Amino acid sequence: MLDGHLQGPPGLKGASGPGGSPGSAVVRLCPQGEQGGPGQKGSKGDKGEAGEDGEAGDPGPVGIPGRLGPIGLTGDLGQQGEAGPNGALGLEGPIGKTGPRGSQGHPGKPGPQGLRGIPGPAVRDYWIDPNQGCHRDAFKAFCNFTAQGETCLYPDKKFQSFSYSASDGVSIHIVQLTFLKLLSATAKQTFTYHCLNSAAWLHTATYSHEHALRFRGSSGEELTHENTHYVSALYDGCQVSDAVI
């Protein structure tokens, strides 16, 4: 409120007036002065930010090897590798001591016929080796070349089993007997049986051989009067009590 009057609202904007005439500019031209000398050195600026990493250079030359370090701990045992080729044959070693004598082996097959030796006396004792092995088990036997070649052994005086000894009384091993059997065509043996109230061959009461002696061969076969024709009694005195056969 001015001077007792109320102020009204602003009026509308009036129209733009006409443009004025161009003004004038005053320019003062002065001659260029001489170049001044260098100014004083300014203070050191702040450190700039780090630049990006450059590209890696070429590897340098190999350096001098360093000193040998201490021996490390033993590692775990690795897997066994493949066997290598056989090495060259070594020199022959010294001959070892003779070992203990092994057990008697099984009889082998007879070897080929040897060369005929110098004829000796027709009837005498000879050292023979039927298994043709080591000469240490050879034995002395009585040989009779006049009777188509007989080899005579001496039976032991034991009736439980037939065993034989050489001319010098040494018992003959079963292996040598086996080979002598293989190399022989036939064999025979006679013995004396003392009987007392027993029928050793022919039983006179029944006139039969049912109580005759029975034998068992080395093969286990039983030899009797009924199944073996070559078992016979040269003299049968057991038909009478307390006699011999």
The pLDDT score that the predictor gives to residue 24 is: 57
- 5 pLDDT more than 70: no
Among 10-19, 28-37, 134-143, the minimum mean pLDDT is found in: 28-37
Q: Has residue 240 been placed in a domain?
A: yes
The pLDDT score that the predictor gives to residue 29 is: 54
Residue 244 β-bridge partners: 194
- Coil, strand, or helix at residue 128? strand
Query: Where in the sequence is the domain holding 208, given as residue range(s)?
Result: 190-245
Which one, of 245, 174, 240, 163, lies nearest residue 205 by Cα?
Answer: 240
Q: Do 178 and 196 fall within a single domain?
A: no
Q: Has residue 92 been placed in a domain?
A: no
Q: Do 198 and 236 fall within a single domain?
A: yes
Total number of domains in the chain: 2
When pLDDT is averaged across residues 120-146 and rounded to a whole number, the result is: 81
The pLDDT score that the predictor gives to residue 2 is: 47
The pLDDT score that the predictor gives to residue 1 is: 47
Q: Has residue 95 been placed in a domain?
A: no
Phi, psi angle pair for 71, to nearest 5°: -70, 130
| Residue pLDDT, tens place only, 44-62 | 878 878 888 888 888 989 8
Beta strands in the chain, from DSSP E residues, in sequence order: 123-128, 139-144, 150-152, 154-155, 164-165, 194-195, 215-216, 222-223, 243-244
- 132 pLDDT more than 60: yes
Q: Has residue 142 been placed in a domain?
A: yes
Q: Has residue 234 been placed in a domain?
A: yes
| Residue pLDDT, tens place only, 101-112 | 877 777 767 677
Query: Average per-residue pLDDT in the chain?
Result: 77
Q: Has residue 220 been placed in a domain?
A: yes
Last residue of one domain, picked from the residues 159, 182, 205: 182
The pLDDT score that the predictor gives to residue 220 is: 80
- Report the percentage of the chain scoring pLDDT > 70: 80
The pLDDT score that the predictor gives to residue 31 is: 65
Q: Has residue 63 been placed in a domain?
A: no
- If one compares 6 and 92, the residue with the highest pLDDT of the two is 92
The pLDDT score that the predictor gives to residue 118 is: 63
Token pair, residue 55, equals 């590209």
